[in-house]
Amino acid sequence: MKSISLYEEGTSFVHDVDPITKLWYIPFAILIPIILPLFTVSFLLIGLSLALLLAAKVIRKTIPVFGFVFLILITVVLIQGMFKPENETVLFQIGPLTMYKEGLLFALTITLRVINIIGAFMILVLTTKPSDLVEALVRKGMSPRIGYVVVSVFQIIPEMMATMSTITDAQRARGMETEGKLLVRIKAFLPLLGPVVLGSLINTKERAMALEVRGFNSQAPKTFLYEEKTYQFSKILQMGMLLLTVAAVVWRIFL
């Protein structure tokens, strides 16, 4: 079955890190460059994230994501470079367009931050099985209901898409045109919505009943089929990140 999860299976040490630790890495990677606004720090963190993605052998999967983000970042660079109010120092000119140093430096800061954030998220998303992350969070005390919602989305959305294509085929078999001009496609889309939406509502009702009789709302303390995974160095990594953050704050204040 097609999955909408971006998770890539692997055996690297990044895959073996506790999902909670990877979750902690995201605020860590976002906060440090804010506390210490130096390009060196940003570059260091981006380097770290990219190195981890490389080590996990998932760097290829990040290309489309970064590609999309770069598209937006280019507009940031152009607009800030040309029109930032503080712009004074002319860096270079292409025809009638003038690029300024202040704007470009600011755009660079934004670009680095964005790459940094995306990198940190990618480590979590690409190397952690969604169900592992949710199970870890549920064990830490998150409501199993929220956990269910998060995990089931990854399977139920593709299921709905499969239903949609079945209905499309059924309508096509009855002579509906589904290909061709935009107007034809829009017309073909409407009769699909009814069955898909109503069908989903009915399915949701039935699924809710099936969950009820399987003790979904049971007050009993939940148990788990799998033993809690033990991860090495979780505490050390989490403490390390905390200490580094504190150190960064101290450095910022006193130095």
Partner 1 sequence: MKRIVVEGLKYKYPLADSLALNDVTFDIKQGEFIGIIGKNLAGKSTLCQALVGLVPHFYKGAYGGKVFVGGLEVKNHSIADISLKVGMVFQNPFTQVTGSKMTVYEEIAFGLENIGVPRSEIIERIDSVLNLLKIEQVKDHNPFDLSGGQMQRMAIASIIAMKPDILVLDEPTSQLDPAGSEEVFQAIQSLSKQGITVILAEHKMEKIAQYCDRVLLLNNGKVVDFDTPGKVFSREDLEEKGVTAPVYTRVCKALGVKKAGTDEYPVTLEEAERVLRGDGA
Summarize as ranges the residues that interact with partner 1 (CB under 8 A): 1, 131, 144, 147-148, 151-152, 155-156, 159, 203, 206-225, 227
Structure tokens at 162: 């499969």
Q: Which of 139, 112, 120, 137 is nearest to 14 (CA)?
A: 120
Structure tokens at 115: 């790459």
Structure tokens at 205: 């009702």
Q: E strands within the chain?
A: 90-94, 97-100
How many Cβ atoms from other residues are within 10 Å of residue 154's Cβ?
A: 16
Q: Which of 117, 123, 129 is nearest to 5 (CA)?
A: 129
Q: Shortest distance, CB of residue 191 to partner 1, whole angstroms?
A: 22
CA distance 199 to 162: 12
- Side-chain-side CA neighbours of residue 65 (13 Å): 18
- Which 3 state secondary structure label does DSSP give 137? helix
CA distance 88 to 102: 7
Q: Shortest distance, CB of residue 230 to partner 1, whole angstroms?
A: 15
- When the beta carbons of 180 and 215 are compared against partner 1, the nearer one is 215
Percent helix, percent strand, percent coil in the chain, to nearest 5: 70, 5, 25
- Side-chain-side CA neighbours of residue 83 (13 Å): 4
CB 176 within 8 A of CB 191: yes
- Phi, psi (deg, nearest 5) at residue 143: -65, 130
Q: Shortest distance, CB of residue 105 to partner 1, whole angstroms?
A: 47
